[in-house]
Amino acid sequence: MSDASRSPAIVWFRQDLRLADNPALLAACESGRPVLPVYVLDDETPGDWRPGGASRWWLHHSLADLDRALQNKGARLHLRKGPADRVIRELVEQTGAGAVYWNRCYEPFATERDARLKAALKEAGVEARSFNGSLLAEPWEIATKDGGPYRVFTPFWKALQARGAPPAPAPEPGSIEHYAAHGSDELDAWGLLPTRPDWAGGLRKTWTPGEAGAQTRLEAFIESALDDYSEGRNRPDRESTSRLSPHLHCGEISPRQVWTAVDAAAAPPDANAAAFLSEIGWREFSHHLLHHFPRFPDANFQSKFDAFPWRDGDEAFRAWTRGETGFPIVDAGMRQLWETGWMHNRVRMIVASFLVKDLMIDWRKGEAWFWDTLVDADLANNAAGWQWTAGSGADAAPFFRIFNPITQGRKFDPDGAYVRRWVPELGEMPADLIHAPWEADSVTLAGAGVRPGETYPDPIVDHGEARKRALAAFNALKDAA
């Protein structure tokens, strides 16, 4: 029977850019219909939360990888640009599609759009089904005894674990009966890659986007870092974290695949596997919060922070973004971010605390900078991380927990290897002074080739005084409450 005599099933790819363990793709292949794989670049519906520069670079390569994988199965990825609900309806009309399948996204703009589209398709007599391809559990499936959402991570994590291990991930389809539609865009025409200037050299050296790259990254982590994860995850000077976050965000690998692989590698389970899986649990918690509190990315979860006296600090913010604050661990993190599109999680907390508490700059400015520069920019995770550090979020670190960048550097980068890599102008400083070069005498500085204020900036704030200022502002906020 020819494609023309049977209506196709559209598989709308979104944050699930893989073939294996993809419930929407599996449902389409099992439907008996020819399959039209589609990706829609929708920069209108998300508004300010459309993908940032680093995410767009990643997306280009991930889509190219997905198209190659589909070609190996006898299909091609169809590309369209525009408001996704409109584009999908147009494709249905153009192809006579009888079904549209997709895996759910949880951003507020996405859930509203998807509900609107599903209703319109069903009214038109088109089968419309959505699936969970991104989480271990749907955000609405985990509830407190009162039936409400969790606001604290530990009981949420216990409730999620009580459900038991997730089902085994499904394999990729053996082959795909393809429906070829006309009018696909060319990926290069979307302009997702930077050209003038091309700032993505460090990203290319660091990452391999795509499903195969995700599996390689997972295997390398299990082989070389899982056994020391509980301790090693706090050391930015070591390759001790999984670096799976961008692959998870784009759906090049599913949390079920990650869980199953780690669980099998650490049989019986140990403290290292438990620590790593709790990070998968934090990702689930972040999506739980985003679903139940849709304004989480741009509004203080704790409303008392609405009156916090944030400072403008344009010059200080610029120094922070450029890695020129004069605090080596902060500058190393910000330069790593700019060069690679990623930053070690411990250092993310340090640089976020510095921005919010030392500089007293609104956490939303930092969130927006991360959104544009992170290859793993994820609305739920990014908002949860910033609100946690700012003290304004759910289960947040208390505001008075202010990271000292000097002691944090000395504790978690004791030999200065991380700083030496990303702040090479301090490369010859002795380990005991590299995190506070202003404490060195003139002879030591000269021997290391460091001229304060010239080759490396002086600190833009006095941490002790900045800490007092931030605590005074917070205490005034409490007194006024």
Residue 74 CB coordination number (10 Å): 12
The reply to whether 480 sits in an annotated binding site is no
The reply to whether 243 sits in an annotated binding site is yes
Is 386 considered catalytic here? yes
Q: Which amino acid is at 180?
A: A
| Backbone phi and psi for residue 443, each to the nearest 5 degrees, phi listed first | -65, -45
The reply to whether 254 sits in an annotated binding site is no
Give yes or no for a contact between 379 and 290, defined as CB atoms under 8 angstroms apart.
yes
The reply to whether 39 sits in an annotated binding site is no
Please give the radius of gyration of the chain, using alpha carbons only, rounded to the nearest integer.
24
Q: Looking at 363, 369, 371, 422, which residue is catalytic?
A: 363
The reply to whether 286 sits in an annotated binding site is no
Is 199 considered catalytic here? no
The reply to whether 241 sits in an annotated binding site is yes
Is 190 considered catalytic here? no
Strand (E) or helix (H) holding 24 = helix 23-30
The reply to whether 331 sits in an annotated binding site is no
The reply to whether 376 sits in an annotated binding site is yes
Q: Looking at 279, 324, 338, 428, which residue is catalytic?
A: 279
Give the Cα separation of 407 and 435 in Å (integer): 8
Q: Looking at 49, 57, 282, 388, which residue is catalytic?
A: 282
Beta strand residue intervals within 18-77, DSSP E: 35-41
Q: Looking at 57, 207, 386, 388, which residue is catalytic?
A: 386
Is 234 considered catalytic here? no
Strand (E) or helix (H) holding 100 = strand 99-103
The reply to whether 456 sits in an annotated binding site is no
| Backbone phi and psi for residue 39, each to the nearest 5 degrees, phi listed first | -125, 135
Strand (E) or helix (H) holding 93 = helix 84-95
Give the Cα separation of 82 and 43 in Å (integer): 7
Listed in sequence order, the residues at least 6 apart from 176 whose beta carbon sits closer than 8 Å to its beta carbon are: 29, 35, 37, 70, 73, 74, 75
Q: Which two tokens stand for residue 106?
A: 């949880």
Q: Which two tokens stand for residue 284?
A: 């689930």
Binding residues for FAD: 229, 241-245, 276, 376-378
Active-site positions? Answer: 279, 282, 310, 345, 363, 386
